[in-house]
Chain A
Amino acid sequence: MSGSELLSMTGLTLQVALIATTLSLPFALAIAHALARHEFTGKPLLQALLALPMVLPPVAIGIGLLLALGRRGPLGPLWETLGVDLVFSWWAAAIAAAVVGFPLLVRACEQAFGDVDPRLERVSRSLGLGPWQTFWRVTLPLARRGVLYGVVLAFSRALGEFGATAIVAGILPGRTETLALGIYSRVQLGNDAGALALCAASFVLALSAMLVAETWLRRPSRRFGPPPP
């Protein structure tokens, strides 16, 4: 396996994970904020549904995505009209990675928002800032450590995503073949040396991401800690 092949697969993996995380972040923030701040009927059901991608077989998620994104699925006419063909593209890989990482992101954000004293949001509003400005200037800055932790977790999960991706994006060298898919196809072909090289690259990426999370994001912050008595 050539070095440029390894580089391009690593690049594609990072690209997919980055797009996956970026795509899911706004939705995760909105849902997590609603869960952390409001009580409503059906909340446990919503929470259970949100956790599903974490516990369902990834292959089953892949099939679900195939139905949702494929031209032969119920939404097929829509994709036809829009002229987009997501299945077997790297976008499909990004969507698959976004779906499986979503529960991790929502949970981390919900926890982070829950830790922000809602009275601080009230104070902000009493000072003339609307709910939207209050979110950007008070809630999100105070929750940012937990939110970033969730982002890194979801990003790391996306780096290694295999099952759903293989179904909905296929294993197309140069187009959708991320590191995880590359390892599998090389093992299938008996190319153990290539598989090991990709494993090593995956290891480095995953370890770097988790080190960032554990070093800077999980540690309780002095800056955002409670004020001394």
Chain B
Amino acid sequence: MTRNLIRARVAREGFELEVDLAWDERVLVVFGPSGAGKSTLFEVALGLHPTSRPFVRIGGEVLDDPDLPLETPLEHRGLGWVPQEGLLFPHLPVRDNLRFGAARAAGTGASLLETAIEVLELGPLLERRVDEISGGERQRVAIGRALASTPRALLMDEPLASLDLQLRARVLPYLLRVRDELDLPILYITHDPDEAMIVGDRAAVIDAGRVVAEGAPARVLWSRAVLPLSESLGLENVLEVRVLEAAADHAIARTARGLRLTVPCPAPLTPGQTLQLGLRAQDILIAADPPGRISARNVLEARIAALEPVEDGLLVHLEAGDPLVAKITRSAADALALAPGGRVHLVIKSQALRRLA
């Protein structure tokens, strides 16, 4: 028996969600394009679709079972919900927003309120009004509020989607701290493959109301079932690098497997710091011969592992120390006579390396 299980069939006008998801991993990322049914799945977990008689077990606890029958109302589910737009209570200062759900844990002596304030660094915000703090801070408070209610699990509904790229990179490290420092199951919904790769222990890809792939994020996000979605999802390579040297406008960094990259750094970096980098498949140029003098800062040698035709081009799976995926046109592949096993040079502008965290 898995610790977590969501089995539901929800029919609405012109849309049907049918899922049977079972998992033991701590962080399940549900990933898919908008309109795929992610939000409906989330509502099922929150118990907002009782008429569809779902079965829901989260963190080993059965919340809904149509055969008993059991339907746990929202206030007794013990789920820490982090909504997309934060949805902080506008009439309460940050402190009272955080305390709002803490009463649930009162008396058990196990409140996570203090932990939440510490991990999310909310101390300086406590006395502020929620319309005085930034979008990124609001999202941190929303995560803190959910934690302070001492939930059995966290349910995060695109918690970074309302933030721009820069803010996302600022909030993501806090989210990872919550994941790593607290032993809480997390159901995490996102349409962003970077996030799915970084956050998830397991990923489920959902499209048109069905789960089309499930498993380890790195494997699932490149699986054949996901390819039709790749356009809408903007699938990317994700690399974890450690900064070796930092200069004024760029830094030299290296992956654990030895891939060296020049990355842009709009904000100062310090040697030893680790970064998560995202790289779109179409931002990798493939050269059959070593390029001469060129403005792009990254030229890597690689071996072609496999070629995979997709609807609008060709995915080139590459081995460059780390596995990378490039996307090119078929005519380009023909012109270069690319074949598995062949050696090529990869050209990557440092600006194409997007810092995720």
CB nearest to B96 among chain A residues: A137
Cβ–Cβ contact A225 & B131, under 8 A: yes
Looking at the complex, which one of B46, B88, B91, B146 makes contact with A141 (CB distance below 8 Å)? B91
Cβ–Cβ contact A229 & B135, under 8 A: yes
Cβ–Cβ contact A128 & B101, under 8 A: yes
Which of B76-84, B229-237, B344-352 faces chain A? B76-84
When chains A and B are docked, how far (Å) is the Cα of A122 from the Cα of B83? 10
Cβ–Cβ contact B91 & A125, under 8 A: no
Most-contacted residue by chain A among B48, B75, B80, B104 (CB, 10 A): B75
Looking at the complex, which one of B76, B91, B104 makes contact with A224 (CB distance below 8 Å)? B91
CB nearest to B145 among chain A residues: A127
| Proximity string of chain B (89-110) to chain A, C-beta cutoff 8 Å, 1 when within and 0 when not | 1110000000011011000000
Cβ–Cβ contact A123 & B78, under 8 A: no
The answer to whether A147 has its CB under 8 Å from any CB of chain B is no
CB nearest to B91 among chain A residues: A141
Most-contacted residue by chain B among A120, A123, A229 (CB, 10 A): A123
A119-B83, A228-B131 are contacts. A125–B74 as well, Cβ < 8 Å? yes
The answer to whether B339 has its CB under 8 Å from any CB of chain A is no
When chains A and B are docked, how far (Å) is the Cα of A138 from the Cα of B97? 11
When chains A and B are docked, how far (Å) is the Cα of A223 from the Cα of B131? 8
Cβ–Cβ contact B77 & A126, under 8 A: yes
* Count of interface residues, chain A, beta-carbon cutoff 8 Å: 26
A residues 92-146 in Cβ contact with B at 8 Å: 117, 119-120, 122-131, 134, 137-138, 141-142
| Proximity string of chain B (119-145) to chain A, C-beta cutoff 8 Å, 1 when within and 0 when not | 000000000011100010010000001
Cβ–Cβ contact A130 & B89, under 8 A: no
Looking at the complex, which one of A127, A129, A222, A227 makes contact with B130 (CB distance below 8 Å)? A227
Q: Which residues of B contact A137 (CB under 8 A)?
A: 100
When chains A and B are docked, how far (Å) is the Cα of A136 from the Cα of B75? 15
A127-B145, A128-B75 are contacts. A223–B91 as well, Cβ < 8 Å? yes
CB nearest to A137 among chain B residues: B100
When chains A and B are docked, how far (Å) is the Cα of A156 from the Cα of B40? 47
CB nearest to B86 among chain A residues: A227
When chains A and B are docked, how far (Å) is the Cα of A57 from the Cα of B104? 52
When chains A and B are docked, how far (Å) is the Cα of A30 from the Cα of B103? 26
| Proximity string of chain A (141-165) to chain B, C-beta cutoff 8 Å, 1 when within and 0 when not | 1100000000000000000000000
Looking at the complex, which one of A128, A225, A227 makes contact with B149 (CB distance below 8 Å)? A128
Cβ–Cβ contact A126 & B46, under 8 A: yes
Cβ–Cβ contact B87 & A119, under 8 A: yes
When chains A and B are docked, how far (Å) is the Cα of A119 from the Cα of B83? 9
| Proximity string of chain A (205-222) to chain B, C-beta cutoff 8 Å, 1 when within and 0 when not | 000000000000000001
B residues 28-61 in Cβ contact with A at 8 Å: 46, 48
Cβ–Cβ contact B131 & A127, under 8 A: no
What class of interface size applies to chain B in its complex with A?
20 to 34
When chains A and B are docked, how far (Å) is the Cα of A120 from the Cα of B83? 10
Q: Which residues of B contact A123 (CB under 8 A)?
A: 81, 83, 87, 89
Cβ–Cβ contact B90 & A127, under 8 A: no
Q: Which residues of B contact A131 (CB under 8 A)?
A: 75
When chains A and B are docked, how far (Å) is the Cα of A131 from the Cα of B104? 15
Q: Which residues of B contact A229 (CB under 8 A)?
A: 135
When chains A and B are docked, how far (Å) is the Cα of A170 from the Cα of B196? 75
When chains A and B are docked, how far (Å) is the Cα of A125 from the Cα of B77? 9
When chains A and B are docked, how far (Å) is the Cα of A20 from the Cα of B288? 88
Q: Which residues of A contact B135 (CB under 8 A)?
A: 229
Cβ–Cβ contact B75 & A120, under 8 A: no
When chains A and B are docked, how far (Å) is the Cα of A227 from the Cα of B94? 13
Q: Which residues of B contact A120 (CB under 8 A)?
A: 87, 89
Q: Could you tell me the distance in whole angstroms from the C-beta of A87 to the nearest C-beta in chain B?
A: 44
Nearest 10 CB-CB pairs, A to B?
Answer: A127-B101, A128-B104, A126-B81, A125-B74, A227-B131, A125-B75, A127-B149, A141-B91, A123-B87, A130-B75
Q: Told that A126-B46, A128-B78, A224-B91 touch, could you supply 20 new A-B pairs with CB distance under 8 A?
A: A120-B87, A123-B81, A124-B89, A124-B100, A125-B73, A126-B77, A126-B80, A127-B100, A127-B101, A127-B145, A127-B146, A127-B149, A128-B101, A130-B73, A137-B100, A141-B91, A142-B91, A227-B88, A227-B90, A229-B135
Return 30 A-B CB contacts under 8 Å, by A number: A117-B87, A119-B83, A122-B46, A122-B81, A123-B81, A123-B83, A123-B87, A125-B74, A126-B46, A126-B75, A126-B80, A126-B101, A127-B81, A128-B76, A128-B78, A128-B103, A128-B104, A129-B75, A130-B73, A134-B75, A138-B89, A141-B91, A142-B89, A142-B91, A223-B90, A226-B90, A227-B90, A227-B130, A228-B131, A229-B135
